[in-house]
Amino acid sequence: MDVGELLSFKPTPTPKRPNEEDSDSDDDQSKASKYRRLGKTKSDYLLHTASIVLPKEPVISDKEREDILRFVETEATEGDVLDETVVKKLVLNFEKKALRNREMRIKFPDQPEKFMDSEIDLHEALQDLSAVATVPDQYPLLVELKCVNSLLELLSHDNTDISTKVVNLLQELTDVDILHESEEGAEELINAMAEAEAPALLLHNLARLDEQVPDERDAVHNTLGIIENLTEFRPELCSEVAKQGFLQWILKRLKLKVPFDGNKLYATEILSILLQTTPDNRKLLGELDGIDVLLQQLAFYKRNDPSGAEEQEAMENMFDSLCCALMEPTNRDRFLRGEGLQLMNLMLREKKMSRNGSLKVLDHALAGPEGRDNCNKFVDILGLRTVFPLFMKTPKRKRILTVDQHEEHVVSIIASMLRNCQGSQRQRLLAKFTENDLEKVDRLLELHFKYMDKVDRTEKEMEVMGPETVSE
């Protein structure tokens, strides 16, 4: 074979091995041409292609689905670990966005479209920063970088969307369960917030929130959550919280004539917490006319039962707050002048659910030497007619207290009157025990033997357990 033949030589073409895509497209083309030849319409062709049975997706059992969800919840994915470097980046990004937004607002104060983008970026930066709430070990770094102060400054931001976002973030950061995961981190965060007077700043933001707006209503709830978290982790902050204005705000919130909601319930809880172990707050409550406010709020339940479990809890919180307040001697006089005895007596007569709380309040109001005036006044308003039927028989309907608790409060009220009543009031009280063939004396002996038996059983149990077990 010469050179010319070599140049002109062409190998015999071999058929190419068709792939699946080519075969599928060829099949479709052939089917389409076949339908055209048979004179079928386009709709017939679509019906034919729709009738092709596709392979079924694999069915996942309930157990397999639970295993997958458990794996997703527990498995740490790449990038979830928030170390010091990541936290610094988040804080730096937040500070940049906050500074940029501040500059744009100063530069274009009357042109919202100019600074709106920077506001959105700031909102997103706050959202990203919420991830730090999962790593309380990094809280000292937040404090060191002055991030906590920057967050508190944003509580006065002109846009309430930003301030409510900050409130949500602070509520997540101060969650008690999270704080207990790192004592050191929690201490640093709480110290920083206390030094910056966070309660006062939160209160200033509360004053401008409109609870008719859902997001702002949630922000009020979260603000109260922050106060609860701070006082639960560090109870000595209760005094500072009250002094910075929260006690006054709560009383104002209780007086609002709006339908009962979750925020009113939460406000009563915070009030009870602030008064529970802080004598200074009890004095402050009296100075702010808080005794009258509580009596006015409780007066509604004289003839009305709470509409639900949450409202019942709020009512009980207000009764508990009143009991705490009456531990302060000066508040006993305010309670007497505010006709608190008359209200409690009427509640006992009306036999509504409020009867349980009023019994506890009377016990606190009459106890001790400070209750002398209240004891004499209670006899004057015919309170003996109300208390002694309860002494003779513990009611079963609408009773929240246990039988023992009910008997304890009633006996304590009568004992206080026996100690404090003088003159004609004392004679009227003693005369009650002589009525109806001394039936009240019989009841008194019955209760005496009942509780003596309990004391004997308890002493025997303590002897069996031994002194070491009892001391533990």
Rounded Cα distance, 324 and 274, in Å: 10
Which two three-digit tokens encode residue 308?
Answer: 């639900």
- CA gap 115, 377 in Å, rounded: 66
- Positions of the chain with pLDDT lower than 70, given as ranges: 1-60, 63-64, 66-81, 466-472
Give the pLDDT confidence score for residue 5 in this predicted structure: 53
pLDDT tens-place string over residues 126-173: 999 999 999 999 999 999 999 999 999 999 999 999 999 999 999 999
